[in-house]
């Protein structure tokens, strides 16, 4: 008897397909089926992109397709005015810088070479009286600039105590001009702290009185049609001999802006 043939084994899911087999392998990609409504999105000749996006949400792409409004002429005028104003400021700054580099402005100088201490006395322990004459020299060292002292106040100090002050009338100086102003300080019943009054008495007895003169000025500089102003501060430390014929023994003056 011939043995009965065994039934064919069912194909395994993990078996390797026969390379000579012609059985079609299903594609892993899903089939794409066209819907009946796909024809609705077909652009007709009469339709525009704006009509196509009517059914879509408002996205950035749709907003970019909108027609932009024209800029208001008023905004253009304001922008042009700002541009012109900025250009003028830049040109003015460059012109000023060039003038400063060419002219090289210098600060006026406040100094002295003569002063006299006439009177110092106390009618009470703390009440000071004095008479002091100060010759101020104002010098304009610039070669191409005129200066004008529009405001000038000079103060007399002893050991940080204000004992007299004097204002000066406005005056002008041309290039490289030097002017002399006589300032007369009179102190009457000036109250001094007791320790400062005693120090002043000691200096008078030692024939060496230390005074300080401070000046505050507002200077205006002119160069053609250009003008600019600034504040000037000066200080002179003076060493005087004792009154009644006190004279200037030494000085140190500083002028700065």
| CB 223 within 8 Å of CB 144 | yes
Low-confidence residues of the chain, pLDDT below 50? Answer: 1-2, 12-16, 19-25, 27-42, 53, 56, 65
Domain locations along the chain: 74-103, 109-256
Q: What is the pLDDT of residue 144?
A: 83
Give pTM, 2 decimals.
0.63
Q: Mind giving me the DSSP string for 20-80?
A: T--PPPPPSSPP----GGGGGGSPPTT--HHHHGGGS---HHHHHTSPPPPPPHHHHHHHH
Of 1.10.3470, 3.30.70, 2.60.40, 2.30.30, the CATH number of 109-256 is 2.60.40
Residues 90, 94: Cα–Cα separation, whole Å: 6
pLDDT tens digits, residue range 149-190? 999 999 999 999 999 999 999 999 999 999 999 999 999 989
């Amino acid at each position: 008897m011939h043995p009965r043939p065994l039934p064919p084994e069912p194909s395994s899911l993990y078996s390797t397909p026969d390379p000579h087999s012609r059985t079609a392998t299903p594609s892993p990609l899903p089939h794409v089926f066209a819907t009946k409504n796909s024809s609705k999105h077909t652009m007709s000749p009469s339709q525009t992109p704006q009509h196509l996006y009517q059914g879509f949400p408002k996205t950035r792409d749709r907003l970019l397709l909108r027609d932009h409004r024209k800029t208001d002429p008023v905004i253009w005028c304001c922008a042009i005015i700002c541009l012109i104003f900025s250009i003028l400021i830049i040109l003015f700054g460059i012109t000023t810088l060039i003038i400063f580099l060419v002219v090289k402005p210098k600060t006026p100088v406040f100094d002295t070479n003569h002063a006299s201490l006439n009177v110092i006395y106390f009618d009470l322990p703390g009440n000071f009286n004095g008479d002091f004459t100060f010759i101020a020299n104002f010098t304009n060292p610039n070669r191409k600039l005129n200066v004008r002292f529009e405001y000038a106040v000079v103060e007399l100090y002893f050991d940080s105590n204000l004992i007299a002050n004097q204002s000066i009338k406005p005056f002008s100086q041309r290039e490289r001009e030097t002017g002399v102003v006589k300032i007369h300080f009179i102190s009457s019943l000036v109250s001094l702290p007791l320790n400062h009054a005693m120090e002043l008495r000691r200096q008078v007895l030692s024939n060496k009185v230390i005074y300080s003169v401070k000046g505050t000025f507002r200077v205006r500089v002119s160069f053609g049609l250009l003008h600019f102003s600034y504040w000037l501060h000066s200080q002179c430390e003076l060493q005087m001999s004792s009154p009644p014929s006190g004279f200037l023994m030494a000085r140190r003056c500083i002028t700065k802006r």
